[in-house]
Structure 1
Amino acid sequence: MPRLPLILPAALAGLLLLPDPARAAITDRALSCADWLKSAAHRKSEHPAPVAAKIRAFCAANPTMKAIDAEMTMTGD
């Protein structure tokens, strides 16, 4: 018989340590891309540099779009 009582807590503990891919770095849902680019917030990114550059470029091309939507579009979340 498998040691389910020992395996289950270990598996759950592993799930708690995984990063949440759907967590957005841009937290202001009402912020447009244009306003986000004007603020200093676009310089502080939790994303790797290539992904952050894609988000900035996408926002520059779509200034009326919500910044959080642009981030989710570029990160696939």
Structure 2
Amino acid sequence: MPLAFRALIAAFAWLLLAAPARAAITDPEMDCAAYLKNSAAGHRQPKAHQASHDVEARIRAFCAANPKMKAIDAEMTITGD
């Protein structure tokens, strides 16, 4: 099997595993700037919640680049939901 094909399969498998983890943004009207402000006081999660922490880190990075976007839309963009 070619290396590029194996890499594609690995990336797809990672997406399937990462997608269920959610940041659980509950306020649909919160923009990314407010989300970043609220998460600045963030807390360290135990290893059992590492996937959720990784998704939250990706959402924070996305929100930093798009501060006027709704946080819930940023979450859906990152998780693919």
TM-score (norm 2): 0.56
- Higher relative contact order (Cα pairs below 8 Å, separated by 6+ residues): 2
- Structure 1: runs of 5+ lacking an equivalent: 1-20
Runs of 4+ in structure 1 displaced over 4 angstroms?
44-47
How has the CA–CA distance of structure 1 residues 28 and 41 changed in structure 2, closer, same or farther, with 3 Å as cutoff? farther
| Aligned positions, number | 56
Residue in 2 that maps onto 1:31: 30
User: Quick check: 1:68 aligned with 2:67?
Assistant: no
The one-letter amino acid of 1:26's match is I
CA RMSD of aligned residues (A): 2.6
More helix by share: 2
Residue in 2 that maps onto 1:4: none
Separation (CA, whole Å) in 1 of partners of 2:41 and 2:75: 11
Tell me if the contact between 2:23 and 2:55 (Cα under 8 Å) persists in the aligned partners: no
- Structure 2: runs of 5+ lacking an equivalent: 1-19
* Identity over aligned pairs, percent: 62
Higher CA-based Rg = 1
Separation (CA, whole Å) in 2 of partners of 1:69 and 1:42: 22
Structure 1 residue 65 displacement after superposition = 0.1
Tell me if the contact between 1:36 and 1:42 (Cα under 8 Å) persists in the aligned partners: no
Counterparts of residues 1-77 of structure 1 (less than 5 Å): 21=20, 25-40=24-39, 43=42, 48-77=52-81
